Structure 1
């Protein structure tokens, strides 16, 4: 008796690839909870070679709408405790969280005083640009040590409905800009539909996924996906991929165009079945923890019209593929000297390029 031949892996909706055994029973809130829950029992940062630092660049921190004038929020990114506030002038500022007086965390209970951040413990008031103490309401003199720059401040820009923070381990000023996506503020496009994950790995392994053509068959159940014409610019990279796409109305010509600017800015435009903009906000928290948020916008005429179901299906399919990758990323080790074979895609070229984002370049 011959063994039955397994069904060929043909597309991301039907192929019985191994990681789906973890995901197949997760639906609704259970899936959302799984996406954010901590992975217990994972190997240490050192065992997984994840102690390679954080690449510098602009990173999404919070939605602009979620920080009101006069509001203070605690943050944890880049293995740092931070405090963020919006001053009375409407500007957002971010500094290191701990007061230089007696160490209070200013993100918890801190107040906005004009455009300054007031510590909840003794009301020392910090400037968000110069990194100095401007006022101590009960003291006649400000100690000289804190009249000079005494805490780190971080450049902040608002774009694409998000607050973006510039991170560099050596506090070097921004080397490139945040890229504005016109659809994000176009009234003819939908508000963002946002999906969120915690990935228990590092951002470089995640970024490498885009040029790893071999994994598409074995993780996503698709045939190897063509890379298209790769673009390698000074600080950004991208590609345009043309594809035939099947729809209930027949086969259509489609394209996937993705771009990045630094490690923290990524956006993809899908055309063909339904136009879709994906702004991917991928921000390191710890050396083995990345906070990922996918923000989708679509033309209202498509997302709310007769093809609304197709528009929703595109978003579900993209998120499903991220779920499948997360199963691997959550326990993946970083291999500094990987063994590469033909068919893997341009991983060595990618690593050489990506090394520019580290203060001390790595392989």
Structure 2
């Protein structure tokens, strides 16, 4: 079954498809993590100067074994992520407050503590030093929480997520979790990741950019969408019709963004699929996006198994096409828009609540119950 059987058959090859062909990418997974090195600076590209608040993914759960520590970089900051012997993931800044060693490089896990490779100072998830093997006294400053800046951490949906706020305010909401993930009737997560040379708000605009589906992804028509902006949640719903080898099928795509860094998409009708997304800025002009898919086992083992597999492949292919644009994008604020464009202004206003400097507080009073979207039967 070809990819075009789960998307409207393109009338012609799009520019992004031709660009991908010219790149002659042999290893698509490696290419997804490569960004241009010759771009103008973030300032020259007019990219946003601040990072939004919210929950953001720093790794997949499957990438962090018990007793493992790994270096990551997000929000322009080097971080140490480790999993203690109790199985809990923890995150603090990477550099030891004692003498500045990067504890994620050469450091090790000691019980539930992170041990610095330089002098073996041991730190907990609050950023407080709990042990210095060669000293009977821990300096008072080192005993305090946030001596090494600590990050509130949650592990949900197969993602390790941290809370970011530029003023280090405690989490204002919790990430949504899904009973489908890890459920015996649903498949294990199939995971993908990309790095793109862009900013988070620009990529947020892509979700409401309805016209690009025809000209970037090659659909026959610009799809009909309904948009709802409600508190920290944005919902986009589309009723779709696609041609398959079995004839025309009708389905629905419901896409939810919950804060700037967490999202999910529920595909129904064509192939029942849940895609959970997690993204995070590495630098002002560098993003890390992750997509994880799960499907009912009856779907993947049944007569529509080929369609189920093709849907996932097609979604990944479409983000490959988006990456071609994202990697060279220049931000115009405001953009020059026309009739038929998506609700860019509404999306910008919605996204602005996640900037601490905006003077707005995230609208928690209107935040809906996400449980209806996050259950096996939902």
What is the TM-score of this pair, normalised by structure 2?
A: 0.88
Match of 1:227 among 225, 228, 245: 225
Separation (CA, whole Å) in 2 of partners of 1:357 and 1:57: 7
Q: Does 1:195 align with 2:192?
A: yes
Q: Conserved in 2, the CA contact under 8 Å of 1:213 and 1:345?
A: yes
SS of residue matched to 2:298: helix
Cα RMSD over matched residues?
2.0
- The answer on whether the counterparts of 1:278 and 1:297 sit within 8 Å (CA) in structure 2 is yes
Cα offset for 1:85? 1.3
Cα distance in 2, alignment partners of residues 89 and 195 from structure 1: 28
**Structure 2 Cα separation of the partners of residues 272 and 327 of structure 1:** 30
1:200-219 equivalences under 5 Å are 200-219=197-216
Determine if contact 2:263/2:277 at 8 Å carries over to the other structure: yes
- CA-to-partner distance for each residue in 1:258-295, whole Å, 9 max, x for gaps? 10111111100111221111112212111111111211
Counterpart among 285, 290, 309 of residue 287 in structure 2: 290
Q: Give the structure 2 partner of residue 34 of structure 1.
A: 31
Q: Does 1:175 align with 2:175?
A: no
Alignment gaps of 5+ in structure 1? 1-9
Q: Which position in structure 1 is the counterpart of 2:133?
A: 137
Once the two structures are superposed, what CA deviation does each residue of 1:124-179 show, in whole Å capped at 9, x if it has no partner?
Answer: 111212x2222212123222332233121111111112211111111111111111
Q: Tell me how far apart the structure 2 counterparts of residues 19 and 68 of structure 1 sit (CA, whole Å).
A: 38
Deviation at 1:29, TM superposition (A): 4.3
Are 2:163 and 1:166 aligned?
Answer: yes
Q: Distance in 1 between matches of 2:285 and 2:150?
A: 24
Deviation at 1:249, TM superposition (A): 2.1
Q: Quick check: 1:97 aligned with 2:94?
A: yes
Q: CA deviation at 1:351?
A: 0.2
1:317 is displaced (CA, Å) by: 1.5
Alpha-carbon distance between aligned partners in 2 of 1:54 and 1:280, rounded to the nearest angstrom: 18
- Distance change >3 Å, CA 11–CA 249, structure 1 → 2: closer
Query: Mean alpha-carbon deviation: is it higher for 213-222 or for 115-124?
Result: 213-222
Instruction: Find the partner of 1:310 among 307, 310, 314.
Output: 307
Aligned pairs for 1:312-327 (under 5 A) are: 312-327=309-324
Q: Is the 8 A contact 2:249 2:270 kept in 1?
A: yes
SS at match of 1:153: coil
Q: In the aligned structure 1, how far is the partner of 2:276 from the partner of 2:328? A: 25
Alpha-carbon offset, residue 32 of structure 1: 2.2
- 1:253 paired residue number: 250
SS of residue matched to 2:15: coil
> Which stretches in structure 2 are left out of the alignment for 5+ residues?
1-6, 361-378
TM-score, length of structure 1 as denominator length: 0.91
Secondary structure, aligned partner of 1:196: strand
- Indicate yes or no: 2:5 matched with 1:45: no
Tell me what 2:67 maps to: 70
Contact kept, 8 Å, 2:223 with 2:240, in 1: the verdict is no
Contact 1:43 1:331 in 2 (8 A): no
CA contact (8 A) 1:214 1:224 kept: yes
Is 2:324 aligned against 1:347? no
Counterparts of 1:299 and 1:60, CA distance in 2: 25
1:58 aligns with 2:55: yes
Contact 2:267 2:273 in 1 (8 A): yes
The runs of at least 4 consecutive aligned structure 1 residues that moved more than 6 Å come to none
Counterpart for residue 109 of structure 1: 106
On the 8 A contact 2:198/2:287 being kept in 1, the answer is yes
Tell me: CA distance 1:256–1:166, structure 2 relative to 1, closer, same or farther (3 Å). same
Contact 2:277 2:290 in 1 (8 A): yes
